[in-house]
Structure 1
Amino acid sequence: MTNGNARIWHVSDDLAARYAEGVLPEPDAWSLEKHVEGCGGCAATVSEAVRGTAAGTVLAQVRDAVLASMPPAQAAPAVRRGSPRRPPVPHRFARLLWAAGPAVRGAWLPAVLVVAAGALALAYGTGYPGTRALLLAVAPVVPVAGVALSYGPHADPLHEVTAATPGGGLRLALTRTVAVLAVSLPLLTLTGLLLPASGAPAAAAWLLPGLALALGSLALASFVGCRTAALLTGGGWLLAALGPVAAEPGGAAGALAEQLSRCFDGVGAQSAWASAAVLSAVLVTARRPVYDRPLGR
């Protein structure tokens, strides 16, 4: 497996043959699968070995059926990638975009844009004074919902297969969580900056709470599943933030701003959110093996 350097190795013909025959020990098979994600030459070697087995014939038939169902513009690049004469070239950005998956596509991203546009319309279209406070109350729930919608069997039809690969499990969950945060944090914070303050906390005050709730939801998902965890963390936050305000309907905007100031403003409050984020990250790390199983219940 090595080429004279302990840190650099490539798949030999014998190793590829044992992998194709299914007799390679599981740790070695996982290592090989991880290696071929970034090595086009070795991927071609393994692909050629698999084509020489009985399973290779079945895989070739499946591939031909898939290509036949694709539009010509998509099928042509796929044929070139599958050609044994031209080893596939890894595209890290494309793999990263695939890993981000539902976090940056589907209904969730338009929903974030609707929240931002709705807040601006409410502030400048109707003149409602408590728009920033309302946005800050809802904003921490947005990443939680994004994490719930971007990971699990409901988000990925191949979730069970993907989770069993070296690039799946916790790594995939964290990749999609980062994608959710990378979209929602700057977009909603910028929207908050464009809204009148009206006594509400700063537009960036929700960043640590949003991170803590997203990580807390991911940690809780290892016990109760993604959707249930999102309901508990997101619903719990909304109840804590909006519950006291319901008792004062006459001055709801001012009461909400005061409630959020207690939750967000000051070193003590932000330190508490930072501690919650760290503890959640520690719990996620400790529960790492659980993420190899479906978490969508």
Structure 2
Amino acid sequence: MSWHVDDADVREYAHGDLAPPRLWSVETHLAACADCRAALSAHVAPAEIDAGWARLDAELDAPRPGPAESLLIRMGVADHTARLLAATPVLRRSWLGAVALTLLLAVGAGLAASPLMLLATAPLLPLAGVAVSFGPGLDPTYETAVVAPMHTFRLLMVRTVAVLSTTTALSGLASLALPSFGLAVLGWLLPALALTATGVALTARLGPVLAPALVGGGWIALVALNVVLSSGTPVPFTAAGQGTAAAVAVTATALLAVVRDRFDSGRPLGPSLRSLPFTARRLS
């Protein structure tokens, strides 16, 4: 070293009185200079110095929460839950952009003719989001998630809540762009809850990709069949259809509570999970 920290700076640093930018310069120098660290030990006990550096290393290595995670923590969500929510794949800009574009096209069709495209499309978005958020080959953190030391069912529910929250908010904003249709434009809400609850409940047996695919395909076929056979409002968006959607949502939620243990048995999430070692599956 061509220079060393002078005694006055060492004393101020030891007593916590050294201000930036000298503080930064001294700390950088201390990290590389054993002689100056020895001089510092004359003012501070070596154990205290070591503890300080350990705290600094821990602080530097600690993960920095992103904007979404920080917001959730400020809202009172527990740190670990906030991290799981913020890590949900559907909160990435690419997914949110795709959802926004889909809804924009649906609103355009609604302004040109009827809100049918929005009513038919919006219920599919949370269903697709669940598949993207917890499906092998779709979620890049899938294998890590299923061997994490927490229940698979809880992780799936956390991510489902994230999906429902974001897609419902975006679909609600899209509905505001069609005020001329009144409350009828919100006819997608109950079907969205019904499809999502049904898809998640069937995931226990069919897996996180096949279950949403079958439920979504059934919804598309139902709407298309109603459009072909009837010139009026499709049945899913009538009062009777909305009541049926509500009943399906309640029934599927009850079924989900019954089969929740299947999510942690190693069977529900397809061959990728079953192929993991027994110990890893029990940890999930």
Please give the TM-score of this superposition, normalised by the length of structure 2. 0.61
Moved over 6 A (4+): none
Residues 222 and 78 (structure 1 numbering): CA distance in 2 closer, same or farther, change over 3 Å?
Answer: farther
Matching of residue 295 in structure 1 with residue 269 in structure 2? yes
Superposed CA RMSD: 2.9
AA paired with 2:113?
Answer: P
- Residues 89-116 of structure 1, C-alpha deviation per residue, up to 9 Å, x if partnerless? xx65664354231131164322110112
Aligned to 1:276: 248
| CA distance, structure 2, for counterparts of residue 123 and residue 207 of structure 1 | 17
Aligned to 1:209: 191
Residues 187 and 165 (structure 1 numbering): CA distance in 2 closer, same or farther, change over 3 Å?
Answer: same
Aligned to 1:143: 126
Aligned to 1:188: 171
Cα distance, 1:79 vs. partner? Answer: 4.2
AA paired with 2:107?
Answer: L
Q: Report if the CA contact (8 A) 1:227-1:296 is conserved.
A: no
Matching of residue 237 in structure 1 with residue 219 in structure 2? yes
Aligned to 1:111: 98
Matches within 5 A, 1:60-209: 79-81=60-62, 95-100=80-85, 101-105=88-92, 107-124=94-111, 128-130=112-114, 132-195=115-178, 197=180, 202-209=184-191
Cα distance, 1:175 vs. partner? Answer: 0.9
- Residues 24-65 of structure 1, C-alpha deviation per residue, up to 9 Å, x if partnerless? xxxxxxxxxxxxxxxxxxxxxxxxxxxxxxxxxxxxxxxxxx
Question: Structure 1, unaligned stretches of length 5 or more?
Answer: 1-75, 83-90, 249-254
Residues 77 and 183 (structure 1 numbering): CA distance in 2 closer, same or farther, change over 3 Å?
Answer: farther
- Residues 93-142 of structure 1, C-alpha deviation per residue, up to 9 Å, x if partnerless? 66435423113116432211011222334455xxx212x11110111111
AA paired with 1:234?
Answer: G
Residues 168 and 157 (structure 1 numbering): CA distance in 2 closer, same or farther, change over 3 Å?
Answer: farther
Aligned to 1:263: 236
Count of aligned residue pairs for this structure pair: 200
Indicate the SS of the match to 1:239. Answer: helix
Question: Structure 2, unaligned stretches of length 5 or more?
Answer: 1-56, 64-72, 272-284
Identical pairs, percent: 33
| CA distance, structure 1, for counterparts of residue 255 and residue 59 of structure 2 | 41
Cα distance, 1:146 vs. partner? Answer: 0.7
Cα distance, 1:247 vs. partner? Answer: 5.8
Higher Rg: 2
